[in-house]
Amino acid sequence: MYNRKKQIINTTLIPILLGVASQSALAQEPSKASLEDVEQISVIGSRVSGRSVDELPVPVDILSAEALANTGQTEVGRMLQAIAPSFNFSSSAISDGTDALRPATLRGLGPDQTLVLVNGKRRHQASLIHINTSVGRGTAGTDMNAIPAASIKRIEVLRDGAAAQYGSDAIAGVINIILDDADEGGKVALSYGEYSEGDGETTNIDISKGFALGDKGYLNTTLNFRDRGFTNRAGLHGSCQFSGCTDLGNGTSLLGDPREATAPRNTFRIGDADSEQFGLTVNTGYELGEGELYGFITYSNRDNESAAFFRHNNNTGGNAPLQDGDATVPMGFLPKINSDIKDMSYNFGYLTEFDNGASLDFSYTYGQNTIDYTTSNTINSSYANALQYNDDGSLASITPDEIRAAVPSEASAYGLELSLSTLNLDYTQDFDLFSLAMGAEIRTDTYKVTPGAEYSYRDYDTVNGVSLFPTDRSAGTQGFGGIGPVSAVDETRDVISFYLDAETEITDDLIVSGAVRYDDYDGFGDSTNFKLAANWSITEDIALRGAMSTGFRAPSMQQLYFNNISTQFKTNPNDPDGDQIAVQVGTFRNDSNLAQAIGIPQLKEEESTNFSLGTVIRIADSINLTVDFYTIDIDDRIVLSNSLGEGLSPALDAALQASGAGGGQFFLNGADTETQGVDIIATWNGEMLGGDLDLTFAANFTETDVVNIFTPPDSGLGDIPPEDIFSEQDISIIEEWQPQDRISLSGLYRINDFTVNLAFNRYGEYTVTDGGRQTYGAEILTDLRVSYQVNEQLSFNIGGNNLFDVMPDKNEIGNSRTGTIVDASGNVIVSSPGVFTYSRRSAPFGFNGAFYYAGAEYRF
């Protein structure tokens, strides 16, 4: 069997938190023989191998594969949310690409302020940037669901600023995904579940196998297939879909067109996207010479389908009326957004050790994320309108039915691609008085936007803002418009970094570490950051730990270069309680002609200052308590402005008129924020009722305040008040749209062949601004999973997430398609408070309700 060179420490030194392993099991002394088969674990947060989590100067959670599986979830993002209270995986609906690729956050900050690693190597971001109104607006994070959970050995979550150690993005912390490296055995696992409403049917299949490469290496591979059906919690369409309705006041309409009485009222699809994913991982290592040749491959392909706003018959802009007086699609249509997400990465490297205990690690990592969008079940309304006319504006000799037959119903919208190439050289050595690590990194970021089909973006009845025909209809495919050649992107950026990391034991009870890192970006310049941390064992059972550091986050490639014009539905300022209205909003890159015309400055890095202070307390042999306070101050935070319309400044007016957009939004260094919080984790283990019981209490309390908003004084926006650039909603997204507290209590009970995992997860209050303001109350969700081990190979499990079907508060703001329709006799055809029964903007635990599942696993 393959013996790794770094078999030095006992893994039982690592206190596994959050209920993932029995502390009593960890307390058992291994035999000398077993020590030879134990891999030394280097935990994120320290480059000194062999440190236990309690010895680290910063908080680190180690989440085992068992802990992830016990959540009953099939997505890594949902698994992390269930067992790590500082992690949030918010849901939203009808938010374009965000429906398929959710924002993942740590400590209430942005998705791009957490660094993700795989086997300690920097992971690439997703190519998507969240430009709609959701958690993480204006940011680009990492696709947490691209790696199958079955391929993961453990996940390490460093809850502290670490930019001085690991570079850009590590302001909130670091998530390190460690892939399975078993060189023998394997499993086949199957699970099926659905929501209590009968939708969201999910089938998940995992096949894993470890192989020994002679007696010097290993290869571990995992295949995953996950098929998840869509969910729909939309309310009824209460407003008129056809012309001729008479407004009777108080939100009531008298139908005109007789088709109104029988029109479908379940017109929207609001919930999780339909999703089908295939995933593959390969993790390998082989002793070669005096070192180890290693590498990994990850690949996933996910096809998603989500829905946009329904376009009814009387939507004269998006569903063009024809000469017979009817719409292009008489009964209306629900546009679908189809996204094909491919994510691939590979790594190879060589780690060698010298006789003096030093080691040298040289590696190369490449990662790429692509998203190709197709809009289906849609029309380009301007195309349908243009078919009615000749070039001179006279009516063409074509019938409405012929037009309907000639109008395409789908088109390729555009493609996104982001790739990252990283070359690392790391050197470590232990001296008598201290340990030293130093290294260099060369990175190349590449970002591309590929135009879609002409039909997806073209305005067929307008040229340079001038209508060609008597009528003018909306351009591009309805629901999700395309991007034209003028907005194509192909940009690269090079980064060179150097770091120095040292750690020493001042005494047997005091560990001090320090790090300095220099990063040079060819886009905006350089940045140097520092970190100083310490762990002081006051007694054998009580330790204090703390850290102070500076950090930074470079502007993402998407923030620098993404630009398009899209339809966004917003609250009508003239009718806050009425239907949301469609607005053509342009997102303009900072070096675009429009941005340059109004003097938008070049983006620069965000700068942060982190402080943390915590304690580790052991009570008897079975209780472990950690409490960590932290503050994170971020200056020059990159934010996406409000949609700015005409009338704010002459320069902006002229630029918008030239672009053809009804509003424009830009990325700016425009806010300073302060985040304060505390993490509390307590574990207890013991025997009860003839079995072993592990209890874990975990809590996170976080509050973020926007303490300053500003605009570039020398730009064309300088005379516009900052509150017009960054609206109340923009500020609310940062401050309030994620729960300010998360508390969980879980118990893992083992007796004979049964294992029971029961967890209570409390999601605290959060507030959403969407025309009005609404605070959604705290809710407690209950998860239960029971498994039975038939024999050494076969086991069955059954369970439920959100067992008691808890739902968020009903939505009272920002609704759409509200109203009551009656016939001439006063009979009610439909009456609805709107289609958004629950907030589509932010839903920390979603709004699908209870999910029940069953599964089986066979190990070999």
Q: Is 12 helix (H, G, I), strand (E, B) or coil?
A: helix
| Model confidence pLDDT, tens digit, residues 237-290 | 999 999 999 999 999 999 999 999 999 999 999 999 999 999 999 999 999 999
Q: Are 370 and 415 in contact (CB under 8 A)?
A: yes
Query: pLDDT-derived band of residue 22, with 50, 70 and 90 as boundaries?
Result: very low
Tell me if residue 323 falls in helix, strand or coil: coil
Model confidence at 132: pLDDT above 90: no
Query: What is the CB neighbour count within 10 angstroms for residue 771?
Result: 19
What is the model's pLDDT at position 3? Answer: 46
Q: Write the CA distances from 543 to 12, 549, 574, 700, 762, integer angstroms.
A: 19, 20, 59, 20, 29
pLDDT in tens, 716-740: 666 778 888 888 999 999 999 999 9
Element (H, E) at 23: helix 23-26
Q: Which residue has the tokens 């030093």?
A: 358
The amino acid sitting at 731 is I
Closest-CA residue to 739 (of 770, 762, 705): 762
Phi first, then psi, for residue 848 (nearest 5°) are -90, -25
CB–CB of 775/767 below 8 Å?
yes
Percentage of the chain beyond pLDDT 70 is 90
Contact 497, 518 (CB under 8 A): yes
- Examine the pLDDT at 17 and tell me if it is beyond 90: no
pLDDT band at 12 (very low <50, low <70, confident <90, very high): very low
Q: For residues 19 and 747, is the Cβ–Cβ distance under 8 A?
A: yes
Q: State how far the Cα of 804 lies from the Cα of 655, in Å rounded to an integer.
A: 53
DSSP three-state, residue 736:
helix
Q: Per-residue pLDDT tens for 54-68?
A: 888 899 999 999 999
Q: Give tens-digit pLDDT for 157-175.
A: 999 999 999 999 999 999 9
Cα separation of 78 and 145, whole Å? Answer: 9
Please tell me the distance from the alpha carbon of residue 363 to that of residue 426, in angstroms, as a whole number.
9
pLDDT at 589: 86
pLDDT per position as a tens digit, 376-423: 999 999 999 999 999 888 999 999 999 999 999 999 999 999 999 999
Look up residue 243 and give its two tokens: 């012309």
User: Bridge partners of 499?
Assistant: 439, 517
Could you give the angle at the alpha carbon of 574 between the alpha carbons of 569 and 579, nearest 5°? 40
Assign residue 19 a region (left: φ > 0; alpha: ψ between -120 and 50; beta: otherwise). left
What average pLDDT does the segment 348-365 reach?
95
- Statement: the pTM of the whole predicted model exceeds 0.85: yes
**Residue 661: what pLDDT?**
66
645 pLDDT tier (thresholds 50, 70, 90): confident
H or E element that contains 507? strand 489-507
CA dihedral defined by 593, 419, 176, 529, rounded to 10 degrees?
A: -50
Sequence-distant (≥ 6) Cβ neighbours of residue 139 within 8 angstroms: 103, 110, 111, 112, 113, 129, 130, 556, 559
Residue 311 DSSP symbol? B
At 658, the pLDDT band (50, 70, 90 cuts) reads low
Task: Indicate the CATH number for domain 11-234+269-808+843-859.
Answer: 2.40.170.20
DSSP annotation string for 810-846: PP-SS--S-EEEE-TT--EEEEES-S-SS-SS-BTT-
Burial 677-702 (b: 16+ CB within 10 A, else e): bebbbbbbbeeeeeebbbbbbbbbbb
Give CA separation, 611 vs 517, 587, 675, in Å.
18, 35, 11
Residue of 449, 516, 459 lying closest to 488 (CA atoms): 449
CA distance 736 to 135: 10
DSSP string covering 382-443:
HHHHHTTB-TTSSBPS--HHHHHHHS-S-EEEEEEEEEEEEEEEEEEEE-SS-EEEEEEEEE
For the stretch 529-554, pLDDT in tens is: 999 999 999 999 999 999 999 999 99
Taking Cα atoms as reference points, which of 551, 555, 493 lies closest to residue 517?
551
pLDDT at 644 over 80: no
Query: What tens digit of pLDDT does each residue of 565-616 get?
Result: 766 565 666 666 566 656 667 788 888 777 777 778 889 999 999 999 999 9
Residue closest to 25 by CA, chosen among 683, 540, 789: 683
- The better pLDDT of the pair 666, 238 is held by 238
The C-alpha atoms of residue 125 and residue 144 are separated, in whole angstroms, by: 10
In this structure, are residues 125 and 161 in contact, taking their beta carbons and an 8 Å threshold?
Answer: no
| Cβ atoms 170, 160 nearer than 8 A | no
pLDDT score recorded for residue 52: 72
Residue 353 · residue 418 · CB < 8 Å: no
What length does the chain have? 860
How many angstroms separate the CA atoms of 644 and 121, rounded? 40
- Structural Rg of the chain based on CA atoms: 28
Measured between alpha carbons, how far is 175 from 167 in angstroms, rounded to an integer? 13
**Which residues, other chains included, contact 750 with Cβ-Cβ below 8 Å and sequence gap of 6+?**
22, 691, 692, 693, 756
CA distance 566 to 452: 13
Per DSSP bridges, beta strands 819-822 and 252-254 are parallel
Residue 573's pLDDT is 62
**How many angstroms separate the CA atoms of 796 and 189, rounded?**
10
| Residue 484 · residue 472 · CB < 8 Å | no
- What residues does 61 pair with on adjacent strands? 157
Q: What residue spans define the domains of the chain?
A: 11-234+269-808+843-859
List, as one string, the DSSP characters of 544-591.
EEEEEEEEEEPPPHHHHH--EEEEEEE--TT-TTS--EEEEEEE--TT
Provide the β-strand partners of residue 211: 219
Summarize pLDDT for 673-703 with one digit per residue, the tens. 999 999 999 999 999 999 999 999 999 999 9
The 10s digit of each residue's pLDDT in 421-443 is 999 999 999 998 999 999 999 99
How far is it, in rounded angstroms, from Cα 305 to Cα 303? 7
Please check whether residue 410 is in contact with residue 374, taking contact to mean a CB–CB distance below 8 angstroms: yes
Among residues 771, 843, 354, which one has the least CA distance to residue 572? 771
Q: Is the pLDDT of residue 656 over 90?
A: no
If you average pLDDT over residues 467-491, what whole number do you get?
92
- 839/764 Cα distance (integer angstroms): 16
pLDDT of res. 572: 61
Judged against a pLDDT cut of 90, whether residue 655 lies above it is answered with no
User: What mean pLDDT value characterizes the chain?
Assistant: 90
**pLDDT greater at residue 769 or residue 25:** 769
* CB 697 within 8 Å of CB 761: no
User: What b-and-e string marks burial along 790-826, b requiring 16 or more CB atoms within 10 Å of the CB?
Assistant: eeeeebebbbbbbbeeebbeebebbbbbbbbbbeeee
Say whether pLDDT at 23 is over 60: no
Residue 602 main-chain phi, psi, to 5 deg: -65, 140
pLDDT digits (tens, 9 = 90+) for 777-832: 999 999 999 999 999 999 999 999 999 999 999 999 999 999 999 999 999 999 99
Strand 114-118 with 623-640, pairing: unpaired
Burial of 12 (0-12, 13-18, 19+ CB in 10 A): middle
